[in-house]
Protein backbone atom coordinates (compact mmCIF):
# COMPACT_ATOMS: atom_id res chain seq x y z
CA UNK A 1 0.00 0.00 0.00
CA UNK A 2 1.24 3.41 -0.76
CA UNK A 3 1.13 6.44 1.49
CA UNK A 4 -1.90 7.91 -0.07
CA UNK A 5 -3.95 4.83 0.50
CA UNK A 6 -2.81 4.61 4.11
CA UNK A 7 -3.74 8.26 4.63
CA UNK A 8 -7.20 7.71 3.17
CA UNK A 9 -7.72 4.72 5.39
CA UNK A 10 -6.60 6.62 8.46
CA UNK A 11 -8.86 9.54 7.59
CA UNK A 12 -11.72 7.19 7.02
CA UNK A 13 -11.04 5.39 10.30
CA UNK A 14 -10.82 8.71 12.16
CA UNK A 15 -14.04 9.93 10.69
CA UNK A 16 -15.81 6.64 11.57
CA UNK A 17 -14.40 6.85 15.07
CA UNK A 18 -15.55 10.45 15.43
CA UNK A 19 -19.03 9.60 14.20
CA UNK A 20 -19.17 6.66 16.55
CA UNK A 21 -18.17 8.76 19.54
CA UNK A 22 -20.76 11.43 18.62
CA UNK A 23 -23.43 8.79 18.21
CA UNK A 24 -22.49 7.21 21.48
CA UNK A 25 -22.59 10.55 23.22
CA UNK A 26 -26.00 11.39 21.83
CA UNK A 27 -27.42 7.91 22.48
CA UNK A 28 -26.07 7.87 25.99
CA UNK A 29 -27.88 11.10 26.89
CA UNK A 30 -31.16 10.04 25.27
CA UNK A 31 -31.40 6.57 26.79
CA UNK A 32 -30.87 7.94 30.29
CA UNK A 33 -33.96 10.12 29.95
CA UNK A 34 -35.79 7.39 28.14
CA UNK A 35 -34.80 4.78 30.74
CA UNK A 36 -35.87 6.97 33.70
CA UNK A 37 -39.30 7.50 32.10
CA UNK A 38 -39.60 3.77 31.50
CA UNK A 39 -38.63 3.06 35.10
CA UNK A 40 -41.21 5.55 36.38
CA UNK A 41 -43.89 3.92 34.24
CA UNK A 42 -42.82 0.47 35.41
CA UNK A 43 -42.87 1.56 39.05
CA UNK A 44 -46.28 3.15 38.57
CA UNK A 45 -47.60 -0.05 36.95
CA UNK A 46 -46.15 -2.16 39.76
CA UNK A 47 -47.70 0.15 42.38
CA UNK A 48 -51.07 -0.16 40.62
CA UNK A 49 -50.74 -3.94 40.52
CA UNK A 50 -49.74 -3.97 44.20
CA UNK A 51 -52.73 -1.79 45.07
CA UNK A 52 -55.04 -4.08 43.09
CA UNK A 53 -53.54 -7.13 44.79
CA UNK A 54 -54.00 -5.54 48.24
CA UNK A 55 -57.64 -4.74 47.40
CA UNK A 56 -58.21 -8.33 46.23
CA UNK A 57 -56.51 -9.62 49.37
CA UNK A 58 -58.85 -7.49 51.52
CA UNK A 59 -61.86 -8.81 49.57
CA UNK A 60 -60.70 -12.40 50.04
CA UNK A 61 -59.99 -11.83 53.72
CA UNK A 62 -63.42 -10.28 54.26
CA UNK A 63 -65.01 -13.13 52.30
CA UNK A 64 -63.14 -15.73 54.35
CA UNK A 65 -64.12 -14.04 57.63
CA UNK A 66 -67.76 -13.89 56.54
CA UNK A 67 -67.65 -17.52 55.47
CA UNK A 68 -66.15 -18.47 58.85
CA UNK A 69 -68.87 -16.53 60.69
CA UNK A 70 -71.57 -18.14 58.54
CA UNK A 71 -70.13 -21.58 59.28
CA UNK A 72 -70.01 -20.85 63.02
CA UNK A 73 -73.66 -19.75 62.92
CA UNK A 74 -74.56 -22.85 60.89
CA UNK A 75 -72.78 -25.08 63.42
CA UNK A 76 -74.57 -23.39 66.34
CA UNK A 77 -77.96 -23.68 64.62
CA UNK A 78 -77.35 -27.35 63.89
CA UNK A 79 -76.32 -27.97 67.48
CA UNK A 80 -79.55 -26.33 68.67
CA UNK A 81 -81.59 -28.32 66.15
CA UNK A 82 -79.83 -31.49 67.31
CA UNK A 83 -80.57 -30.77 70.97
CA UNK A 84 -84.18 -29.86 70.23
CA UNK A 85 -84.70 -32.94 68.07
CA UNK A 86 -83.08 -35.17 70.68
CA UNK A 87 -85.29 -33.77 73.45
CA UNK A 88 -88.40 -34.08 71.28
CA UNK A 89 -87.48 -37.70 70.51
CA UNK A 90 -86.94 -38.43 74.19
CA UNK A 91 -90.22 -36.72 75.11
CA UNK A 92 -92.14 -38.70 72.47
CA UNK A 93 -90.61 -41.98 73.62
CA UNK A 94 -91.29 -41.22 77.28
CA UNK A 95 -94.92 -40.28 76.48
CA UNK A 96 -95.35 -43.71 74.92
CA UNK A 97 -93.76 -45.50 77.89
CA UNK A 98 -95.48 -43.57 80.68
CA UNK A 99 -98.77 -45.53 80.41
CA UNK A 100 -96.78 -48.69 81.24
CA UNK A 101 -95.33 -46.97 84.31
CA UNK A 102 -98.82 -45.79 85.28
CA UNK A 103 -100.13 -49.36 85.07
CA UNK A 104 -97.25 -50.65 87.17
CA UNK A 105 -98.03 -48.04 89.83
CA UNK A 106 -101.70 -49.09 89.82
CA UNK A 107 -100.65 -52.73 90.12
CA UNK A 108 -98.42 -51.82 93.07
CA UNK A 109 -101.38 -50.17 94.83
CA UNK A 110 -103.52 -53.26 94.38
CA UNK A 111 -100.93 -55.82 95.36
CA UNK A 112 -97.63 -54.96 96.99
CA UNK A 113 -94.99 -56.87 95.10
CA UNK A 114 -91.26 -56.36 95.43
CA UNK A 115 -90.79 -57.14 91.72
CA UNK A 116 -93.22 -54.41 90.63
CA UNK A 117 -91.65 -51.96 93.08
CA UNK A 118 -88.20 -52.74 91.62
CA UNK A 119 -89.45 -52.20 88.05
CA UNK A 120 -90.98 -48.83 89.04
CA UNK A 121 -87.67 -47.86 90.68
CA UNK A 122 -85.79 -48.83 87.50
CA UNK A 123 -88.19 -46.76 85.39
CA UNK A 124 -87.68 -43.74 87.66
CA UNK A 125 -83.88 -44.18 87.61
CA UNK A 126 -83.86 -44.29 83.81
CA UNK A 127 -86.06 -41.21 83.61
CA UNK A 128 -83.77 -39.38 86.02
CA UNK A 129 -80.70 -40.27 83.90
CA UNK A 130 -82.52 -38.80 80.91
CA UNK A 131 -83.08 -35.56 82.82
CA UNK A 132 -86.78 -36.21 83.40
CA UNK A 133 -88.44 -35.67 86.76
CA UNK A 134 -91.92 -36.14 88.13
CA UNK A 135 -93.92 -32.93 88.46
CA UNK A 136 -94.37 -32.29 92.15
CA UNK A 137 -98.06 -32.49 92.99
CA UNK A 138 -99.79 -33.54 96.18
CA UNK A 139 -103.12 -33.05 97.86
CA UNK A 140 -103.66 -29.54 99.28
CA UNK A 141 -101.20 -27.95 96.82
CA UNK A 142 -102.53 -24.98 94.88
CA UNK A 143 -103.55 -25.78 91.35
CA UNK A 144 -100.99 -24.45 88.85
CA UNK A 145 -102.02 -24.50 85.19
CA UNK A 146 -98.34 -24.49 84.18
CA UNK A 147 -97.92 -28.00 85.63
CA UNK A 148 -101.39 -29.42 86.29
CA UNK A 149 -104.30 -30.39 84.10
CA UNK A 150 -107.64 -30.26 85.91
CA UNK A 151 -109.87 -33.08 84.71
CA UNK A 152 -112.34 -33.15 87.60
CA UNK A 153 -113.82 -30.79 90.16
CA UNK A 154 -114.39 -31.50 93.83
CA UNK A 155 -117.19 -29.62 95.57
CA UNK A 156 -117.05 -31.50 98.86
CA UNK A 157 -115.94 -28.41 100.77
CA UNK A 158 -113.18 -30.44 102.44
CA UNK A 159 -110.41 -28.44 100.65
CA UNK A 160 -109.87 -24.77 99.96
CA UNK A 161 -111.01 -23.53 96.56
CA UNK A 162 -108.30 -23.90 93.87
CA UNK A 163 -106.38 -26.62 95.68
CA UNK A 164 -105.64 -30.12 94.44
CA UNK A 165 -107.86 -32.75 96.08
CA UNK A 166 -106.51 -35.79 94.24
CA UNK A 167 -103.75 -36.72 91.77
CA UNK A 168 -105.21 -38.94 89.07
CA UNK A 169 -102.05 -39.29 86.98
CA UNK A 170 -98.49 -38.08 87.63
CA UNK A 171 -96.97 -35.59 85.27
CA UNK A 172 -93.39 -35.48 84.03
CA UNK A 173 -91.07 -32.77 82.79
CA UNK A 174 -87.47 -32.21 81.83
CA UNK A 175 -85.26 -30.74 84.55
CA UNK A 176 -85.19 -27.49 82.55
CA UNK A 177 -88.96 -27.18 83.04
CA UNK A 178 -90.23 -28.35 79.62
CA UNK A 179 -93.39 -30.35 80.22
CA UNK A 180 -93.69 -33.86 78.79
CA UNK A 181 -97.04 -34.66 80.38
CA UNK A 182 -99.11 -32.51 82.75
CA UNK A 183 -100.27 -33.96 86.07
CA UNK A 184 -103.96 -34.83 85.88
CA UNK A 185 -105.63 -33.60 89.03
CA UNK A 186 -108.96 -33.08 90.73
CA UNK A 187 -109.46 -29.50 91.94
CA UNK A 188 -111.66 -28.09 94.72
CA UNK A 189 -114.25 -25.52 93.65
The 10s digit of each residue's pLDDT in 106-141 is 999 998 889 999 999 999 999 999 999 999 999 999
C-alpha to C-alpha distance for 16 and 24, rounded to whole angstroms: 12
Query: What is the chain's mean pLDDT, rounded?
Result: 87
Mean pLDDT of 52-77: 97
Contact 151, 165 (CB under 8 A): no
Q: Which residues, including other chains, have CB under 8 Å from residue 101's CB and lie 6 or more apart?
A: 120, 123
C-alpha to C-alpha distance for 75 and 59, rounded to whole angstroms: 24
Q: Which helix (DSSP H) or strand (DSSP E) does residue 61 occupy?
A: helix 3-110
The pLDDT of residue 7? 45
C-alpha to C-alpha distance for 117 and 108, rounded to whole angstroms: 7
Query: Residue 174's pLDDT band (boundaries 50, 70, 90)?
Result: very high
Residue 11, pLDDT above cutoff 80: no
The pLDDT of residue 21? 52
Angle at CA of residue 173, ends 170 and 142, nearest 5°: 55
* CA distance to 94, 97, 100, 172, per residue, from 88 (Å): 10, 14, 20, 14
Query: Residue 31's pLDDT band (boundaries 50, 70, 90)?
Result: low
The pLDDT of residue 74? 97
Can you state the angle between helices 3-110 and 114-129, rounded to 10 degrees?
Answer: 150
The pLDDT of residue 34? 73
Amino acid sequence: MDNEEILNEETLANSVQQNNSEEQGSTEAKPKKHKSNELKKEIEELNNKLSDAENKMQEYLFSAQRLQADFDNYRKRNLEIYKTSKNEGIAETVKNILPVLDNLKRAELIEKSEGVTQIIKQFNDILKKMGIIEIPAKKSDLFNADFHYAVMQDDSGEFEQGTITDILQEGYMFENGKIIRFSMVKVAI
